[in-house]
Structure 1
Amino acid sequence: MNIAQDTPTAADSAPVTYEDLPKVSLHDHLDGGLRPETLIEIAAEIGHELPATDADELAVWFHESADSGSLVRYLETFDHTIAVMQRAEDLERVAREFVEDLAEDGVVYGEIRWAPEQHLTQGLSLDEAVDAVQRGIEAGVEAAALAGRTIRAGQILCAMRHTERGTEIAELALRHRGQGVVGFDIAGPEDGFPPSRFAEAFELLAREHFPVTVHAGEAAGLDSIEDALFTGRALRLGHGVRIAEDIEVSFEGEDEDGAPRAIADLGPLASWVRDRQIPLEVCPSSNLQTGALATLADSAAEAHEPESHPIDMLVQLGFAVTVSPDNRLMGDITLSDEFELLADVFDYEAEDFLELTLTAARAAFLPLEDRDALEDHIRSEYARLGLVDL
């Protein structure tokens, strides 16, 4: 997976790979990024039956189940991952390995989202669950450092949309503010469970000046995005790709290469999101898997073709686009793989990946000084790799 076959690194003259690029992952689910081997080992300990007990076969099962085109079926795969994440030691292990895997993929800053309310069946309290994950994150950061890699990671706590614990999870996030928790989200079934159900939680978080991102514009459309922005006070949109439904594209004349010239007319919501540079946490492969693009495509088949994804249009129109893997186990994908997909489909090059990564760094739930330092680190790494000039 060479990003530039003829571009050597300064250190060893080896070709630069996608894994070499410093990355920022903003939308990455803890219960969607387990190692198959870990799943099998913990499941055997607790007596949970899995669809397969061979690591390769299990990985294939997750990918095929998730690649159904249905968000509902996609979410069903989490029954197995959540089942093995109920004990403190298991949460800690999964979080540690999660961070190690991010670091190995070149991620230098990651926000790890998960729903503590789903991990209480073995007697853990919400706070104990958060503490266990934080211990794992810190152990993963240390392990990465020993392996010569640098990474920083924070937790985003999710309230499940179909339950009634939003305010409780918001209060949990505030209790752990400054102790590893950097943001709040609502996750789970999007269609039929709007952000307005959690108005009290969002009001509390707004009063406390706590960062919020909201899953919106994936399984549900423009109403979901609008509710996330104006009820949820979302600083970022989880996925958000269906903002493209508020963009009308027509063709007029030809460009200098003789191709039809596209004219984009942004509706009021799309203009609001773009003009205020509200970051979109786009997960290209996941969007293709879950059928999130069905309303944007001319056919069901086209909705699963990478070329149908609106990410390049959104980038070209000046939206604040970031790229994340969503669920690495279900998608059989890494952030490096997502970059390679963009290169293959849209001819993205190093400069494009740098801009996507800098946009993600600017959108991180970090203090301004830390975001600036993260941007500087990313630029310096690209320069060290010989991909850009400082």
Structure 2
Amino acid sequence: MELTRELVRRAPKVLLHDHLDGGLRPGTVLDLAARAGHALPAGTEAELAAWFHEAADSGSLERYLETFQHTVGVMQSAEAITRVARECVEDLAADGVVYAEVRYAPEQHVEQGLSLDDVIAAVAEGFAQGMDAARTPAGERIVVRQLLTAMRHQARSMEIAELAVAWRDRGVAGFDIAGAEAGYPPTRHLDAFEYLQRENAHFTIHAGEAFGLPSIWQALQWCGADRLGHGVRIVDDIEVADDGTVTLGRLAAYVRDKRIPLELCPASNVQTGAATSIAEHPIGLLTRLRFRVTVNTDNRLMSRTSMTDEMWSLVEAFGYGLDDLRWFTVNAMKSAFLPFDERIALIDGVVKPGYAAL
């Protein structure tokens, strides 16, 4: 069977690394900005979409992060947050996603008086509305959970970690830290990670994106991360000789041996300079070496991407087939912050039958 983009769109997908404030529809940003009196750098939907992509396409993570001033800026009311969350689920469902963990930093949405709990509740309401709207006549629906993110340059990680535990039976799957890596090592938030471990809670850490192996080492060996957000720079600990022989350093071997999931985001990595192109992205080598590779979108608005786009770009660059895409998807579902029996139910009841039907 010839693999087409439409076939890839129909394939069931699992998404572990997607930012709520990085996936707004351009039209929604315009509408919410008009209501909130927030000034934007462009006045039409097409112009705004182009601005986000071009501003994020600088090769700098710091410049990439600046674009969030406008998405976060229009997400300061419960109504706006719920709308964005609902539309996020609708867009993911239309893209063939069957399970997603969507992250955001509650502390960034309290400028107009919302409490942190208000923010989480607004996202929960939007996700619930989206999941209900995406339910098929047969009763199937996308499952979406929250990841609560703390900003690594701020000092609220313990507070956010406590919220992740308090809300974990109400739609919150885990915890994350994000933001510029350089100068803000994950060990600055060690108390939060130790608390989460004591509470048997799950967490991922942005590491190995703009910064190299020390960031990954700290995230794993000091902080105890379950997954690596990006983790693409683990390739710095892999040596490929001229004859094709591959030698793994101690850290890379540990990551592979322990099956630590890598939340790779190809399009975003090219934009921020973590990879020079999709064809030269380390995902090809890491897949060949059978690391626990997962494919993700990171920020769908800034990267003008979707899970279909990400997977199709890998098909074009590396010649992957449906078996490879299923492998990525099962990897992600195995790595989800969801109870074991629920992961197995989605793998055996949704993912594998979905690929078999194609």
Residues 67 and 289 in structure 1, CA contact (< 8 A), matched pair in contact too: yes
How far has the Cα of 1:383 moved from its partner? 1.1
Give the superposed CA RMSD.
1.3
Contact residue 155 and residue 180 of structure 1 kept, 8 A: yes
SS at match of 1:113: strand
> TM-score, length-normalised on structure 1?
0.89
Q: What does residue 258 of structure 1 align with?
A: none
1:178 and 2:169 correspond: yes
- SS of equivalent to 2:279: helix
**Aligned position for 1:267:** 249
1:307-322 superposed matches below 5 A: 307-322=279-294
Q: Which has the larger radius of gyration?
A: 1
Residue number among 53, 56, 74 corresponding to 2:46 in the alignment: 56
State the shift of 1:168 in Å: 0.6
Q: Which whole-Å CA distance do the structure 2 matches of 1:3 and 1:17 have between them? A: 9
Decide which moves more: 220-229 or 144-153: 144-153
Structure 2 CA distance, aligned partners of 1:3 and 1:130?
Answer: 43
Q: Does 1:335 align with 2:326?
A: no
User: In structure 2, do the counterparts of structure 1 residues 285 and 161 end up closer, same or farther at CA, with 3 Å as the change threshold?
Assistant: same
Q: Determine if the alignment matches structure 1 residue 70 to structure 2 residue 68.
A: no
Per the TM alignment, residue 231 of structure 1 is displaced from its structure 2 partner at its CA by 2.2
Do 1:226 and 1:269's aligned partners in 2 also have CA atoms closer than 8 Å?
A: yes
Residue pair 1:249, 1:263 contacting (<8 A) in 2 also: yes
Aligned residues of 1:286 and 1:325 also touching (Cα < 8 A)? yes
1:278 matched to which residue of 2? Answer: 260
* Amino acid in structure 1 at the alignment position of 2:52: F
Q: Give the counterpart letter for 2:240 in structure 1.
A: V
Structure 2 unaligned residues grouped into runs of 5+: none
Q: State the percentage of identical aligned residues.
A: 54
Q: Secondary structure at the match of 1:163?
A: coil
CA contact (8 A) 1:277 1:320 kept: yes
Q: Does 1:153 align with 2:144?
A: yes
User: What pairs up with 1:1-390 in 2 under 5 angstroms?
Assistant: 4=3, 16-145=6-135, 150-252=141-243, 262-293=244-275, 303=276, 305-376=277-348, 377-385=350-358
Seen in structure 2, the aligned counterparts of structure 1 residues 276 and 24 have a Cα distance that, compared at 3 Å, is same
Q: CA deviation at 1:146?
A: 5.4
Structure 2: which amino acid aligns with 1:323?
A: V
Letter in 2 for 1:285: A
Instruction: Work out the CA distance in 2 between the residues paired with 1:30 and 1:371.
Output: 23
Aligned residues: 356
Q: Deviations over 1:85-124 (max 9, x none)?
A: 0000000000000000000000000000000000000100
